[in-house]
């Protein structure tokens, strides 16, 4: 009996060893399969990032040719102009306002869309429109709506007797920046509310039923059932929105071009002006590096906070 | 046996063919001037929808006459041409022949050929001196004029009639008087000014030149000269004190102002000679007059000439072929056709004479060409200074700084 057990074990051992050798190769094979994608990502993502960092530390001629490293010179020049601080502040306000307000509004919209009502399908389809339309078209449309000379907004407000004289919506930053933020919210809502709607649909109705049996009011069940279970979709929508909105170029560029005096510029439009109007490629790269680092820091921070909480 | 024979003959034929080919290419290489045959890239900006078909036709016609030259034509929209060229240059794929609005930054990097090494003396003679001289850096031409536009004062005849004004203003004090009358009698904004990154520097130029000031003097930037400060102060007062302009000059660009003018909501606007072409299609009912740009009392008349350039990169292997093509392109009838299509003014005197003889309005513009003043485009710093100047004017208009402060700060940037 014992003997047979031993031999069978030995036999097993042998076979295990055999599998081990083959297994090593087998383990390598998946890496081989993903190698092309890894290579592609390396070439398409990491090489440009490397180039960007290199450019930001180089002196770049007006024609765009690198003329050797100069350390932090470009960054120093950047911060010596107080316009860049205005731009950073604008970017912060722009991102927080657009993402924050549109997320709050989207929760409401998603809650409504999750209820059954006649014409719900149509409303859901219509909600996608602003998202499906090209951003430049949407921005240009809003620019015309708020135009001083032939904008429909002034016309409506005048006919309604709310204002007597046309308002120059897009001249002073005190008015034009809120208008920009509104357009940003308008185009951000569809995506956000669909992500949240998808999240809502995963919440089992049973939870609300048992909640109502225990006497939870609508507000309470929203706070203690809906919101906690929406956490994942809110994380996804917030991280993606912050990155999109932070990097959003067409709205501001189409409507105000960041004027006057950089007061409606965000990092991205400032960067574009730097690169292609002032031809300061080195400084433009420096702006890019800074915005890259801000976004990277934000993503790491946000995701780690959310991950920790869910643990 | 027969197979071997066949192979042998084949080998012989191939050998002969190869030798013949070598000889032929050898002949080609030896014939004529340096680099007269081969392929070159020509990047041209898209002025209108008609640019590409016209340029393609010219290239095709040229290639028919010159079978040994091949042109890779690329028509690029204005909104992306800057990025495209920047990429081409920084990745060492510069075009051979380029049409663009700047050239000095390439000279700074030693990328351009001297024009006179390439073009024929006859072609050089054709260009207006004022235009050709504006292509020179340290006495050497690194680009040649491609086409030009010139600025004048456009006034709305209906508005003038309603206000009872018969003559467009010639001087600044007349300008203020006319503005007051228009504003009182019609309520329409009398005078259009834009101060955005689009073309704010043009309005800066109209006023400083109209006061005897300039961007640079004796090779040095003089943005805060007394004449300039006075001129910009006049402009700012026109906007803020007299309220004689469109309400927010920092929030509307020239193209948008042109539309407002076309709708009869603006009394006067200084803009380019292609404006009539635009009005004809967009506002055919708008009746307008054209007059010289008003200047301060006792100052000589002037206009702003804007020219685009053609330049040859020194990486080219076929300067001879490019020279031939340029002769072909600037032939009067062909060049005149191009100018008419685009509503632009010719940079060659010969075509200018022909066109002036045919059309009275065009003659009016062409007569201004010799007195045209230009932006200091030969200074590589101009691109940056353009933005600084606009910024300074915006600060002055929005009351963030006094005119003097704003221009002093811009001058510091020019010197720094």
Our CA-based measurement puts residue B263 at a distance from the nearest CA of chain A, in whole angstroms, of 10
Q: Would the pLDDT of A23 be above 90?
A: no
What is the pLDDT, as a whole number, of residue A132? 84
- Output the six-digit token pair for B131: 């235009």
* B286 lies within 8 A of chain A by CB: no
CB pair distance less than 8 Å for B251 and A280: no
Specify the 3-state DSSP secondary structure of B39: strand
Cβ A247 vs Cβ A220: under 8 Å: no
Distance between CA atoms of A273 and A275, rounded to whole angstroms?
A: 5
Q: Quick one: which of B379, B407, B374, B411 has its CA closest to B393?
A: B407
CB pair distance less than 8 Å for B89 and A280: no
Our CA-based measurement puts residue B117 at a distance from the nearest CA of chain A, in whole angstroms, of 22
Distance between CA atoms of B106 and B225, rounded to whole angstroms?
A: 29
Averaged pLDDT score across all residues of chain A: 86
Bin B38: left if φ > 0, else alpha if -120 < ψ < 50, else beta: left
Nearest C-alpha in B relative to A280: B384
Classify burial at B60, counting beta carbons within 10 Å of its beta carbon; exposed 0-12, middle 13-18, buried 19 or more. Answer: exposed
What is the pLDDT, as a whole number, of residue B6? 54
Identify from B90, B255, B393 which residue to disrupt to test chain A contact, counting A C-beta atoms within 10 A and taking the largest count: B90
CB pair distance less than 8 Å for B90 and A64: yes
Element (H, E) at B310: strand B303-312
Residues of B within 8 A of A63 (CB-CB) are 86, 89-90, 105-106, 108-109, 111
Element (H, E) at B272: strand B266-272
Cβ B400 vs Cβ A262: under 8 Å: no
| Dihedral Cα B395, B398, B402, B404, nearest 10 deg | 40
What is the pLDDT, as a whole number, of residue B151? 92
What b/e readout covers B132-159, taking b as 16+ CB neighbours within 10 angstroms? bebbebeeebbbbbbbbbbbbbbbbebb
What is the pLDDT, as a whole number, of residue B311? 95
Query: Which parts of chain B register pLDDT below 50?
Result: 1, 15, 17-32
Distance between CA atoms of B118 and B98, rounded to whole angstroms?
A: 14
Q: Quick one: which of A5, A276, A63 has its CA closest to B82?
A: A276
Q: Quick one: which of A59, A75, A55 has its CA closest to A67?
A: A59
| DSSP of B140-172 | EE--EEEEEEEEEEEEEHHHHHHHT--S---BH
Distances in whole angstroms, Cα of residue A165 to Cα of each of A75, A158, A159, B66: 45, 7, 11, 65
pLDDT in tens, B142-152: 999 999 889 99
Residues 6+ apart with CB under 8 A from B223: B215, B385, B389, B392, B407, B410, B411, B414
Q: Quick one: which of B353, B355, B329 has its CA closest to B344?
A: B355
Distances in whole angstroms, Cα of residue A195 to Cα of each of A105, A112, A134, A244, A278: 13, 14, 20, 15, 40
B 101-140: CB under 8 A from A: 105-106, 108-109, 111
Give the DSSP letter of residue B250: G
Side-chain-side CA neighbours of residue A129 (13 Å): 7
Residues 6+ apart with CB under 8 A from B220: none
| DSSP of B203-232 | HHHHHHHTTT--SEETTEE-TT-HHHHHHH
Give the DSSP letter of residue A43: I
Structural domains in chain B, sorted by start: 38-149+306-373 (3.40.190.10), 150-304+377-415 (3.40.190.10)
- Output the six-digit token pair for B253: 């660009």
The domain A74-310: what is its CATH number?
1.10.3720.10
Give the DSSP letter of residue B299: P
Distances in whole angstroms, Cα of residue B353 to Cα of each of A217, A311, B326, B350, B374: 87, 83, 20, 5, 21
Cβ A137 vs Cβ A174: under 8 Å: no
Cβ A260 vs Cβ A273: under 8 Å: no
Cβ B188 vs Cβ B267: under 8 Å: yes
A 135-194: CB under 8 A from B: 148-150, 168, 170-172, 176
Our CA-based measurement puts residue B410 at a distance from the nearest CA of chain A, in whole angstroms, of 13
* A277 lies within 8 A of chain B by CB: yes
Beta strands in chain A (DSSP E): 58-60, 66-69
Distance between CA atoms of A302 and A309, rounded to whole angstroms?
A: 11
Sign of CA dihedral A255, A257, A262, A268: positive
Residues of B within 8 A of A168 (CB-CB) are 247-248, 251
What is the pLDDT, as a whole number, of residue B29? 40
* B48 lies within 8 A of chain A by CB: no
Cβ A246 vs Cβ A270: under 8 Å: no
* B50 lies within 8 A of chain A by CB: no
What is the pLDDT, as a whole number, of residue A6? 44
Q: Which ipTM was obtained for this model?
A: 0.78
| Percent of chain A with pLDDT strictly greater than 70 | 92
């Amino acid at each position: 009996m014992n003997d047979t057990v031993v031999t069978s074990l030995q036999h097993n051992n042998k076979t295990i060893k055999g599998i081990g050798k083959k297994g090593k190769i087998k383990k390598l094979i998946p890496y081989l399969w993903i190698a092309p994608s890894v290579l592609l990502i390396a070439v398409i993502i990491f090489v440009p990032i490397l180039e960007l960092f290199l450019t930001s530390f180089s002196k770049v001629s007006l024609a765009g040719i690198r003329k050797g490293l100069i350390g932090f010179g470009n960054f120093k020049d950047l911060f010596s102009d107080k316009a860049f601080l205005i731009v950073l502040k604008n970017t912060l306000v722009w991102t927080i306002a657009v993402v924050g307000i549109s997320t709050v509004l989207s929760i409401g919209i998603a809650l409504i869309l999750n209820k059954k009502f006649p014409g719900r399908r149509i409303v859901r389809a219509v909600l996608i429109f602003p998202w499906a339309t090209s951003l430049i078209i949407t921005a240009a449309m809003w620019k015309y709506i708020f135009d001083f000379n032939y904008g429909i907004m002034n016309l409506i407000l005048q006919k309604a007797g709310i204002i007597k004289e046309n308002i120059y919506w897009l001249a002073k930053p005190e008015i034009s920046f809120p208008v920009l933020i509104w357009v940003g919210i308008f185009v951000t809502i569809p995506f956000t509310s669909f992500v949240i709607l998808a999240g809502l649909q995963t919440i089992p109705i049973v939870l609300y039923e048992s909640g109502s049996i225990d006497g939870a009011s609508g507000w309470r069940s929203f706070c203690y059932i809906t919101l906690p279970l929406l956490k994942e979709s809110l994380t996804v929508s917030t991280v993606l929105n912050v990155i999109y909105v932070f990097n959003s170029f067409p709205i501001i560029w189409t409507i105000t071009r960041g004027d006057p005096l950089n007061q409606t510029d965000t990092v991205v439009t400032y960067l574009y002006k730097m690169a292609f109007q002032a031809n300061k490629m080195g400084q433009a790269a420096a702006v890019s590096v800074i915005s890259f680092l801000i976004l990277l820091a934000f993503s790491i921070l946000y995701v780690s906070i959310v991950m920790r909480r869910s643990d | 046996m027969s197979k071997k024979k066949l192979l042998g003959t084949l080998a012989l034929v191939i050998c002969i063919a190869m030798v013949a080919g070598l000889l032929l290419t050898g002949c080609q290489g030896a014939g004529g001037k340096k680099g007269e045959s081969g392929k070159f890239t020509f990047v041209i900006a898209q002025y209108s929808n008609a640019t590409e078909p016209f340029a393609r036709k010219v290239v095709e016609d040229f290639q028919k006459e010159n079978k040994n030259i091949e042109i890779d034509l690329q028509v690029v929209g204005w909104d992306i041409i800057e990025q495209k060229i920047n990429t081409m240059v920084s990745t060492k794929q510069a075009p051979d022949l380029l049409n663009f609005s700047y050239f000095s930054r390439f000279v700074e990097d030693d990328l351009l050929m001297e024009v006179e090494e390439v073009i024929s003396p006859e072609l050089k003679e054709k260009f207006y001196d004022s235009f050709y001289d504006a292509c020179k850096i340290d006495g050497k031409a690194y680009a040649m004029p491609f086409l030009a536009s010139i600025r004048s004062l456009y006034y709305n005849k209906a508005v003038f009639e309603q206000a009872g004004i018969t003559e467009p203003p010639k001087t600044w004090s007349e300008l203020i008087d006319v503005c007051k009358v228009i504003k009182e009698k019609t309520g329409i904004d009398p005078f259009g000014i834009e101060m955005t990154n689009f073309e704010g520097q043009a309005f800066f130029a109209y006023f400083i030149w109209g006061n005897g000031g300039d961007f640079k003097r004796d090779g040095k930037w003089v943005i805060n000269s007394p004449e300039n400060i006075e001129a910009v102060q006049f402009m700012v007062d026109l906007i803020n004190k007299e309220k004689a302009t469109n309400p927010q000059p920092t929030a509307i660009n020239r193209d948008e102002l042109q539309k407002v003018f076309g709708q009869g909501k603006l009394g006067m606007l200084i803009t380019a000679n292609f404006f009539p072409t635009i009005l004809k299609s967009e506002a055919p009912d708008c009746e307008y007059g054209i007059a010289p740009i008003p200047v301060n009392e006792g100052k000589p008349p002037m206009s702003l000439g804007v020219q685009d350039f053609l330049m040859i990169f020194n990486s080219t292997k076929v300067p001879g072929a490019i020279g031939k093509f340029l002769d072909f392109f600037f032939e009067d009838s062909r060049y005149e056709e191009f100018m008419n299509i685009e509503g632009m003014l010719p940079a060659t005197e010969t075509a200018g004479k022909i066109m002036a003889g045919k059309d009275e309005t065009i003659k009016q513009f062409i007569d201004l060409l010799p007195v045209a003043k230009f932006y200091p485009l030969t200074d590589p710093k101009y691109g940056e200074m353009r933005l600084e100047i606009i910024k300074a004017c915006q600060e002055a208009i929005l009351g963030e700084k006094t005119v003097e402060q704003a221009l002093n700060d811009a001058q510091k940037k020019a010197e720094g």
